[in-house]
Amino acid sequence: MRLIADALAKLNASRGAGERVLLCVDGVHGFACEETSLPKLGCDVFITGTHKWLFGPRGTGFVWAKADVWPLLQPSIPSFSGDAYPMWMGVIPKAPLKPALTMTPGGFHSYEHRWALADAFKWHGALGKAKVAARIHALNRQFKEGVAKMTGVKLHTPMADEASAGIVTFEVAGFGDLREVVKKLGERKIVSSVTPYRLPRFSRVSFGILNSEADVEAVLKGVRELTKA
């Protein structure tokens, strides 16, 4: 992503503010999985859910943007934050607002989920981003190395840590309908998925910080059993 951001920076250097190409990233499977920070990525807008690798409540997430990018974004839903809503209703006179305040959704918020999310961030911070990233990579590398040794299974995710993260995709020979792989692994109490969802080409599993080496071995055993089916 940094390479893309640097290339766009050169392109935008000769353009006016209204002609800039913005780099907007859906980072849901990188956030809380890799050791980095948003400013280092170089993107203009970063959007993510926080229920995956951060293990926050479902339905939570956030949008981050550079300070000079917020004024370029236009909210489509009246915000309930601060004075934004009464200004929209005409109850109080309009006045300048921080752009980010206008971007939170309207409606009645799930405050208990937002409050719980703070603890998820604290927990992740206490563990340390470097340790979390190293653990996720180690568990998924263990699975990749195990799959790579199997006959009848093709690994599609790169082995190198810098080219992959917490999702591993693979194929098991003899299964035309990949949902059968999900079903049969499910019978072994193994949760898996397919990718892409609508027109699946590969089977998919993930290992996070709530998993153990024993969990990885259990999934490897389940995949190995499918090759004998």
- CATH number for the domain harbouring residue 172: 3.90.1150.10
Q: What is the CATH number of the domain that holds 99?
A: 3.40.640.10
In this structure, the answer to whether residues 62 and 168 fall within a common structural domain is no
**Number of domains forming the structure of the chain:** 2
Give yes or no: residues 123 and 221 share one domain: no
Q: Residue 89's pLDDT band (boundaries 50, 70, 90)?
A: confident
- The answer to whether residues 63 and 46 touch, using CB atoms and an 8 Å cutoff, is yes
Q: Among 46-60, 74-88, 205-219, where is mean pLDDT lowest?
A: 74-88
Q: Examine the fold and report which residue of 127, 147, 177 is the final residue of a domain before the chain moves on.
A: 127
pLDDT of residue 114: 85
Omega before residue 39 within 30° of 0, cis: no
Average pLDDT, the chain: 92
Do both 44 and 156 map to the same domain? no
pLDDT of 229 reads 63
Question: Token pair 């305040």 is at which residue?
Answer: 101
**Half-sphere exposure of residue 164, counting CA atoms within 13 Å on the CB side?**
22
d(CA 169, CA 144): 9
Contact by Cβ (8 Å): 22, 45: yes
CA distances from 75 to 82, 83, 84, 102 (A): 15, 15, 11, 6
DSSP code at position 20 = P
User: Are 49 and 55 contacting, i.e. CB atoms less than 8 angstroms apart?
Assistant: no
68 with 10, same domain?
A: yes
> Distance (Å, rounded) from C-alpha 43 to C-alpha 62?
15
pLDDT tens per residue, range 137-186 = 999 999 999 999 999 999 999 999 999 989 999 999 999 899 999 999 99
Per-residue pLDDT, averaged over 202-226, amounts to: 97
One domain, residues 157 and 185: yes
Confidence of residue 70 (pLDDT cuts 50, 70, 90): confident
pLDDT, tens only, 100-140: 778 877 777 788 898 899 999 999 999 999 999 999 999 99
Mean per-residue pLDDT for 47-74? 91
What is the rounded average pLDDT of the residues 12-36? 92
Annotate 200-210 with b (16+ C-beta within 10 A) or e (fewer). Answer: bebbbbbbbbe
C-alpha triplet 66, 70, 75: angle, nearest 5° = 145
Q: Which has more pLDDT, 98 or 94?
A: 94
**Residue ranges making up the domain that contains 175:** 131-226
CA-based R_g, the chain, Å: 22
Which stretches within the chain are classed as H helix? 2-12, 38-41, 84-89, 111-127, 129-148, 178-187, 213-226
Is 138 in the same domain as 180?
yes
